[in-house]
Amino acid sequence: MPTAIADVDLDKLLEAETLSRETVTHIKEQVYSSPELREELDEKIAALRGSIKKGHEGQEGKDITLLLGILTWVIGNIKEASEFLKEVKTRKIGAYYLGKCYQELGDYNQAVECFERAKKTDTEEFDICMDIAETKRLAGKNEDALKLIKSFSQSHGNNPEFHYQLGHCLDALGEYDDAFNHYEQSLRIDPNHQKSLFRMGFNYDLNGEDEKAIECYEQCIDLYPHHKNAFINLGILYEDKGNFDDAIYCFETVLDAEPNDPRALLFLKDAKASMNMYYDEEISKKQGKESEVLNIPISDFELSVRSKNCLEKMNIRTLRDLTRITEIDLLSFKNFGETSLNEIKAILSQKGLHLGQALESDHETEIFRNKNAEKKNETVKTVDELGFSTRCRNALSKAGVEAIKDLTEKTELELDQLGIKPNYIDEIRDKLSEIGLILKTAGNDTSSADESITE
């Protein structure tokens, strides 16, 4: 049962001596664990906004601004939070969370400057140094980040965050095996270290080990605060496996927190569209029953000897055979007259069928297929219009294949060389076939390659 926000007296955060990063972290974990707790925090933020409008000045005004900046950062309003925190950046806690805002906004130089300001008087120098190292890595300064992290190897070698940051830095430098070992070490120390779980899942995902990736991502999303990219990547994996309900849940969870997230909106639309493409179970059952009826043998019905003999000579054994022949065909057969014809019609009518029914259906289907193929060939111009799975489309986009014309000019070998996995090549073949197109003919040598997923 999560601790209610009321148990963490937010008013005490206005007192400089009790305002700590640990308290803020605790609040963030709690508000993401329950909609009710989030509502409490929203009410608190609204009250603080009201206090700001009343024009509090001096120390009290700064305290309100500081708290409002931190709490708006907690709920993800980064730009707004940064504006509040700029006004209180002389306080180490204000400088720290302003640094977090700058980091998330991609202003890495400003972020490092703020973290350095917060670190000067902070007794927990390790935590802020890891923030600095992370920011340097994000800025592409991997060697500088690695040097800073390794300086804590003696004092914090048993800290899960140390191994996570070291692993991620080694990842960025291409030392993947060593990086993986450090993620594993981090999780041995703390099995619920969320960032390490995500990186493990991400690496499994890149290597095509979907089941292991799903296991890590599922552990990751059970922790608070929610890891957005874990939900997105897990949703994509679920969609690839046909688990559309689970995929939709993942994308909707992201949108609950960030209603305008473009990736989550796109993937949710794809997942819902893919789910609608699957056959209706009731229709399938109906088709199964119809098939059973069509397979009923003629011998099961009471027919005159003449009718039975004629049907047998015409090699008509089942009701399905009768639906594939016309009245004219029957009447043209020797000794088959109107009486026998009426017998046959009565039998078929009992089962909701009629002579020539299958021929009519085949003809309509063929017309539909031809018209549909013509229509698709006229209107489908881009890869996005073919309804590929999210991962297949991502792989084609990464390879620079956007137009149908470009796709049909590729051989399977060329697609493989562009990093398109064999299962996606199969999917491409099937989708092109639906509109009467094929890949360029050539060899069929395939191999695996990774694709874009959310880091």
Tens of pLDDT, residues 87-119: 999 999 999 999 999 999 999 999 999 999 998
Write down the mean pLDDT value for the chain: 81
CATH of the domain at 397: 1.10.150.20
250 vs 213: CA distance, rounded Å: 15
- Closest among 208, 257, 192, 212 to 231, alpha carbons compared: 257
Q: Write out pLDDT tens, residues 403-414.
A: 888 888 888 888
Lowest mean pLDDT among 46-50, 232-236, 451-455: 451-455
Q: Decide if 325 is inside a domain.
A: yes
The pair of three-digit structure tokens given for residue 426, joined into one six-digit string: 């199969």
The residue-averaged pLDDT of 137-166 equals 95
What's CA 191's distance to the chain center, in Å? 24
Same domain as 352, residue 388? no
30 vs 5: CA distance, rounded Å: 7
Same domain as 113, residue 73? yes
Q: Decide if 393 is inside a domain.
A: yes
Same domain as 389, residue 354? no
Lowest mean pLDDT among 203-207, 215-219, 223-227, 283-287: 283-287
Q: Residue 344: which domain range?
A: 286-359
- The residue among 85 and 405 whose pLDDT is bigger is 85
What phi, psi does 118 have (nearest 5°)? -70, -30
Burial of 376 (0-12, 13-18, 19+ CB in 10 A): middle
Same domain as 395, residue 354? no
- Closest among 439, 371, 431 to 405, alpha carbons compared: 439
Residue 228 has pLDDT above 70, yes or no: yes
> Tokens 């291409």 correspond to what residue?
174
What's the pTM?
0.61
Rg, Å, the chain Cα set: 33
Q: Decide if 62 is inside a domain.
A: yes
Q: Write out pLDDT tens, residues 338-380.
A: 888 888 888 888 888 888 887 665 544 444 444 444 444 445 5
The residue-averaged pLDDT of 415-443 equals 78
How many domains does the structure of the chain reveal?
A: 3
391 vs 239: CA distance, rounded Å: 9
What phi, psi does 111 have (nearest 5°)? -65, -50
Q: How far is CA 12 from CA 91, 246, 377, in A?
A: 16, 41, 67
Same domain as 119, residue 2? yes
Same domain as 390, residue 302? no
Positive or negative, the Cα torsion across 385, 387, 388, 389?
positive
Residue 142 has pLDDT above 70, yes or no: yes
What is the band of 122 on the pLDDT scale with cuts at 50, 70, 90?
A: low
Residue 450 has pLDDT above 60, yes or no: no
93 vs 113: CA distance, rounded Å: 14
Q: What is the DSSP letter of 140?
A: T
- The residue among 161 and 64 whose pLDDT is bigger is 161
CATH of the domain at 32: 1.25.40.10
- The residue among 214 and 326 whose pLDDT is bigger is 214
Q: Decide if 439 is inside a domain.
A: yes
149 vs 157: CA distance, rounded Å: 10
Q: Decide if 434 is inside a domain.
A: yes
Q: Write out pLDDT tens, residues 29-84.
A: 777 776 777 788 888 889 888 888 776 677 888 888 998 999 999 888 999 999 99
- Closest among 24, 33, 26, 139 to 92, alpha carbons compared: 24
- Closest among 372, 414, 388, 430 to 406, alpha carbons compared: 414
